[in-house]
Chains A and B, each alone.
Chain A
Amino acid sequence: MLTRRVIPCFDVANGRVVKGVSFVALRDAGDPVELAAQYDRDGADELVFLDITASSEGRASVYDMIARTADQVFIPLTVGGGVRSVQDMRQMLAVGADKVSVNTAAVEQPELVNEGAYRFGSQCIVVAIDAKRTVPRADGAARWEVYLHGGRTPTGFDAIAWAREAVARGAGELLVTSMDTDGHQDGYDLDLLCAVRAAVDVPIVASGGAGTPQHLVDALVEGGSDAVLAASIFHFGTYTIGSIKEYLAAHGVPVRPVRGADA
């Protein structure tokens, strides 16, 4: 049976992991290769690197970082942040990313999704959608607006309509982040996940709001997501991936057992 994926997400800048990571055993908690290997051993199903580097010199170090990580970690790697062209996608894939995630650029130039899917296959084009609740429809149904630039810029676009369009253009997966719940560790926006689930038939990765293992169960069962992305819950060492997977399994969610735990 296809298992649901648990995906830790790292913010990286200039080739280093920058946001609160607390693996005490690590020699260098900022080293993406060491962290990736640790999460792999711990049972992560994929890894997402979100590049928040501003400078172009920094970009080169990200390519190097992906290459070094892919040399040693044999699970899927997704890289997002600052991908603005087919050339960017090509370079990310060439150095070892398995999927590239596009957000702002996909909204500003939607043909990028078509072209990326055409050149490299839908399976490696992830469209990331940052959605924020807005005025409900006349019948009371919830609505969400697409935000860009890390949640700073409203677009006026309906998030569900954009999800549908992104898939029609060739996105093979959607990474759906709720701007309302992100960072609060108070649970994912399940209404948003359900609305996207009803709109598209590609895999959905839920993001924004994980604080407890039950939040992940909710996103996967009630929200109908195929995967859950989280940062703080793992990085602050509150829960290991292994303990979360045990919790998911105990609550009827099919997961890939952590190696060693089942051997």
Chain B
Amino acid sequence: MTVDVVIVDYGAGNLRSVARAVAHAGVEALVTADPRAVEAARAVVMPGVGAAADTMANLRAAGLVEPVREYIASGRPFLGVCMGLQALFDVSEEGGEHACLGVVPGRVVRFPQGLTVPHMGWNTVKLRRPHPVFEGVAQGSYFYFVHSYYPRPADDGTVAGETEYGGARFASVVARGNLVATQFHPEKSGADGLRVYANFVRLALVQGTLEPAALAAPLGS
């Protein structure tokens, strides 16, 4: 069967890396800014680097804000990466106060003064609970991070993984049903990162056989 994996192209970088990682999992992803492709997709990856304000401006300009929100509400598999995680929250404090997608309650805030920023390099992720996308990934595995802001979810239940930096923990994996988002870059995290993409693609394959009505259930919370 075909799985239509869409990588949302809103003018941010590293799309090609993400496409390569999905290709490594055996699926050719469609890299597009077309809202209709998002609406029709069976799996969506939203990557991203850069600033929150630009990200939201680009999503708005491409007419992607509502399609992405509706896609996520439908309960189909969604993977957000880095800025693609931060954009899910209510508000980002990057360069002021910017409203984001509001799909996950909470704020995105800057690391405190005195720390080396960006938080750049390989750090460990402590998984709080099992998730299909992290199947086969050992507790405490290393992933590649590069970011200056981090998410502070309002609902602790959305935190699926945590990472320590500068003596404090932050949410490095956020999950709710088939929505998963990572602050790190799995496409730059070697074998463990490729496993995350492979698991995500497999999730899409499995979920793709279900009816949309059945998919909506896990997201009901």
- Real binding pair: yes
Chain A residues at the B interface, C-beta cutoff of 8 Å: 1-5, 40, 45, 70-71, 74-76, 93-96, 98, 120-124, 172-173, 201-203, 226-227, 256-257, 259
Q: Given A70-B20, A98-B17, A201-B115: A5 and B122 within 8 A (CB)?
A: yes
CB of A97, distance to nearest CB on chain B (Å):
10
Segment at the interface with A among B31-39, B100-108, B182-190? B182-190
Interface centre among B145, B165, B187 (most CB of A within 10 A): B187
Q: Does B74 contact A (CB under 8 A)?
A: no
User: Using a Cβ–Cβ cut-off of 8 Å, how many residues does chain B contribute to the interface with A?
Assistant: 36
Q: How far is the CB of B201 from chain A (nearest CB, A)?
A: 15
A3 near B122: Cβ-Cβ < 8 Å: yes
Binary per-residue interface labels of chain B (78-94) against chain A in the complex, 1 for a CB within 8 Å, 0 otherwise: 00000000000000000
Contact of A71 among B20, B50, B121, B123 (CB under 8 A): B20
A173 touches B120 (CB 8 A): yes
Residues of B within 8 A of A257 (CB): 142
Q: Contact check, A3 vs B118: say whether CB atoms are below 8 A apart.
A: no
A1, A2, A94, A203: most-surrounded residue (chain B CB, <10 A): A2
| Chain B residues whose C-beta falls within 8 Å of the C-beta of A45 in the assembled complex | 121-122
On whether the beta carbons of B191 and A259 are closer than 8 Å, the reply is: yes
Contact B49 A121 (CB under 8 A): yes
Q: Which 6 A-B pairs have the closest CB atoms?
A: A121-B50, A256-B122, A256-B142, A123-B146, A2-B123, A203-B120
User: B16 in the interface, Cβ–Cβ < 8 Å?
Assistant: yes
B118-A95 in contact (CB<8A): no
Contacts A3-B121, A123-B147: A202 and B17 contacting too (C-beta < 8 A)? no
Interface contact B13-A120, CB-CB below 8 Å: yes
Residues of B within 8 A of A201 (CB): 114-117
- The answer on a CB contact under 8 Å between B14 and A98 is yes
Can you list 22 A-B contacts with CB-CB less than 8 angstroms, sorted by A residue number?
A45-B122, A70-B16, A71-B20, A74-B187, A75-B188, A76-B144, A93-B13, A98-B17, A120-B49, A120-B50, A122-B148, A123-B118, A123-B146, A123-B147, A124-B13, A124-B49, A172-B118, A172-B146, A203-B120, A256-B122, A257-B142, A259-B190
